């Protein structure tokens, strides 16, 4: 009798469900469903907003932390094994970069797949949001290409079975896609951005991409369009450009925006001198002698030039002002707590070299983005992180024109505008000083090195310039100091960096991805 009762109950349920065909077609109440989304222009804006968090933020430091400019100072950080050439196809850093970029691309593709469902008469507004998302997607592909080379080019959403069969797309085709998308985005976008991606960001990113791709005519053209717009200008104070005071100024073309308590970051607690952090942290990435030596003297001459006036006993005297504005220098730079930075080894200085495992190992600390306002709450910074700025566009224009052999007054003007920022004012370059492609190439590369230091460019620059095997291998060096009237050079023995030219110009396709998709081939040497 019990079995019969259960059979009758099952039949009744089946009949009831068959009579109410839509009973199981319910709209979930724990998330936004497509059935109630993609209807209004507000939905389009909200969906576009969801793609912005994929932008880089404080991670820009981790790129330079893999180069000759910065040393990853914490011995157990994942970057250390990569700097020393010990990375493998299973290294987490390679996978996290791949995963983060494709998460951003997936969000962008979902937007592009669904936005046209919205019945909205204001097509101009729809196109603007499309352009923002296209620019955000291009940003991710630029990183992927520079890190991994050929990668799958996904322009629409895919399901799990498709994800197991995608193959790598040749780099040239990806550059084509990036160029086309950013060209169209620039057409749809206004220059006014109000914190969102505008025409300048799309053009600036296009100029960067084309420079990286070696498509110099296209790079120069995109940069020139930004220059000729007269929308952007250099912020007069280089130091404050990276402080709260300089946020949203006319030089900033794209920034990852933050706010304390709501959407904060911890760059202060990561890179500030150890003495300025409450607790064990700080000095995650510290500058090396390589970047310090790149800053010229205030007369514009390299410190290696016998006529420069460089004094090894007073190495920071009469230097390019950007050095002291970018780096904490011992016995010179004020600290957020009101003291003076002191890193000379075996002294009572506030940040003496290797006084703890978290203090600087080189005698230097990064000053960019270390704001006094964050001293009291170092893990709750709301300081915006700049991703594209006008100075980069000027240097991109100059470099592209130099590589094309089109050396004219506009090249000197672009470089000198950066060098003669109000707070910098180095002597201008003229054709009497340098007029060959080789001499100007050296000038613009060094200018890019110091102007954009610690902003996430160096890893990509040494790859595209193919100089990584020259600048990366060997023991990193730090500051020099006097010890009983002897000049001593800090040398990080035991931290030899390496670079294999047959392997390290590209990262490996992460092992986890190739285990899931056997169609993905591996890069040479891995």
Model confidence over 50-63: pLDDT tens digits? 999 999 999 999 99
Instruction: Mention every residue, 6+ apart, whose C-beta is less than 8 A from residue 57.
Output: 256, 258, 265, 385
First to last CA, the chain: 68
For residue 81, the model assigns a pLDDT of 85
Q: What is the pLDDT of residue 31?
A: 52
**3-class state of residue 340 by DSSP:** strand
Walk me through the domains of the chain, giving residue ranges and CATH numbers.
Answer: 47-268+375-477+493-526 (1.25.40.390)
Report strand pairing: 365-366 vs 327-328.
Answer: antiparallel
Structure tokens at 185: 């985005």
Prediction pTM value:
0.92
CB hemisphere CA count around 158 (13 angstroms): 15
Output the average pLDDT for the chain. 91
Pairwise CA distance, residues 141 & 305, whole Å: 41
- pLDDT given for residue 27 in this prediction: 53
pLDDT tens column, 76-126: 788 888 888 888 999 999 999 999 999 999 999 999 999 999 988 899 999
How far apart CA 196 and CA 453 sit, in angstroms, is 25
Q: Spell out a b/e string for 32-50, using b for 16 or more CB atoms within 10 Å of the CB, else e.
A: eeeeebbeeeebbeebbee
Q: What is the SS3 assignment for 105?
A: helix
Residues of the chain with pLDDT under 50: 1-24
Contacts of 488 (CB under 8 A, 6+ apart): 480, 481, 482
Give the per-residue pLDDT at 368.
97
**SS3 (DSSP) at 360:** coil
Q: What pLDDT shows up at residue 29?
A: 53
């Amino acid at each position: 009798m019990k079995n019969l009762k259960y059979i009758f109950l099952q039949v009744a349920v089946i009949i009831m469900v068959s009579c109410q065909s839509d009973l199981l077609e319910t709209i979930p109440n724990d998330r936004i469903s497509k059935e109630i989304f993609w209807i209004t222009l507000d939905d389009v804006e909200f969906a576009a907003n969801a793609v912005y968090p994929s932008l880089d933020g404080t991670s820009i430091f981790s790129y330079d932390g893999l180069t000759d400019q910065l040393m990853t100072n914490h011995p157990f950080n994942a970057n250390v094994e990569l700097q020393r050439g010990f990375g493998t196809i299973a290294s987490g850093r390679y996978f996290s970069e791949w995963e983060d970029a494709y998460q951003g691309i997936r969000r962008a593709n979902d937007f592009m797949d669904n936005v046209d469902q919205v019945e909205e008469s204001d097509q101009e507004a729809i196109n603007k949001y499309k352009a923002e998302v296209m620019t955000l997607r291009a940003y991710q592909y630029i990183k992927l290409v520079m890190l991994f080379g050929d990668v799958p080019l996904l322009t629409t959403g895919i399901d799990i079975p498709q994800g197991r069969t995608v193959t790598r797309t040749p780099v040239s085709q990806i550059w084509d896609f990036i160029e086309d998308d950013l060209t169209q985005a620039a057409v749809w976008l206004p220059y006014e951005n109000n914190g969102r991606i505008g025409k300048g960001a799309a053009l600036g990113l296009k100029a960067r991409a084309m420079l990286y791709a070696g498509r110099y005519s296209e790079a120069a053209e995109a940069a020139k369009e930004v220059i000729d717009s007269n929308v952007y200008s250099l912020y007069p104070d280089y130091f404050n450009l990276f402080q709260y005071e300089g946020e949203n100024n006319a030089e900033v073309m794209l920034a990852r925006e933050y706010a304390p308590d709501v959407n904060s970051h911890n760059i202060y607690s990561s890179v500030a001198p150890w003495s300025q952090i409450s607790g064990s942290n700080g000095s995650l990435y510290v500058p090396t002698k390589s970047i310090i030596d790149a800053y010229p003297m205030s007369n514009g001459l390299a410190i290696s030039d016998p006529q420069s006036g460089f004094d090894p006993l007073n190495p920071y005297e009469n230097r390019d002002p950007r050095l002291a504005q970018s780096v904490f220098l011992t016995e010179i730079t004020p600290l957020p707590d009101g003291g003076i930075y002191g890193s000379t080894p075996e002294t009572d200085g506030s940040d003496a070299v290797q006084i703890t495992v978290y203090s600087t190992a080189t005698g230097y600390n990064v000053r960019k983005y270390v704001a006094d306002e964050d001293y009291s709450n170092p893990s709750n910074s709301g300081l915006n992180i700049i991703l594209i700025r006008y100075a980069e566009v000027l240097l991109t224009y100059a470099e592209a024109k130099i590589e094309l052999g089109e050396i004219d007054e506009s090249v000197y003007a672009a470089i000198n505008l950066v060098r003669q920022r109000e707070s910098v004012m180095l002597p201008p370059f003229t054709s009497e000083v340098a007029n060959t492609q080789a001499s100007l190439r050296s000038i613009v590369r060094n200018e890019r090195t110091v102007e954009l230091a610690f902003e996430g460019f160096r890893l990509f620059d040494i790859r595209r310039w193919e100089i990584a095997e020259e600048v990366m291998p060997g023991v990193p060096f730090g500051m020099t100091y006097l010890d009983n009237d002897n000049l001593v050079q800090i040398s990080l023995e035991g931290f030899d960096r390496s670079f294999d030219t047959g392997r390290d110009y590209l990262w490996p396709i992460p092992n986890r991805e190739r285990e899931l998709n056997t169609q993905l081939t591996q890069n040479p040497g891995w």
